[in-house]
Amino acid sequence: MVWLNYLGAGVTAALGMLGLLAPRTIADFVSIEPVGATGKSEIRATYGGFFLLFGVACLYSGSPATFHILGYGWLGAAAGRLFSFLPDRAFSGKNLAAVAFEAAIGFLLFL
């Protein structure tokens, strides 16, 4: 089942590569609008560099603790999105699918 950990880390790294190389694609996918060069830089940093290197760190180290920490991050994202359903009235099919995706990647990193 260790390969599932690597799958979760690989998906994380691949999303990071996409964020680094195609910030507009990621911005459209997550429904945000980068403002100017600084906004694009933020997408490259957060959705790109952070995700890419965290995924690569898991793949390189193979450490269960590293996989778990990344898993907690994905589960935290799912929990934050769930929370947004009430105060932001953000309940939608797209957001529900995103919760499922984030939770699934998070759980893969714990298996």
Per-residue confidence (pLDDT) for residue 47, from 0 to 100: 94
Contact by Cβ (8 Å): 105, 74? yes
Domain count, the chain: 1
| Parent domain of 91 | 2-108
| pLDDT score of 108 more than 80 | yes
3-class secondary structure for the chain? CHHHHHHHHHHHHHHHHHHHHCHHHHHHHCCCCCCHHHHHHHHHHHHHHHHHHHHHHHHHHCCHHHHHHHHHHHHHHHHHHHHHCCCCCCCCHHHHHHHHHHHHHHHHCCC
pLDDT higher than 80, residue 1: no
The pTM assigned to this predicted structure is: 0.89
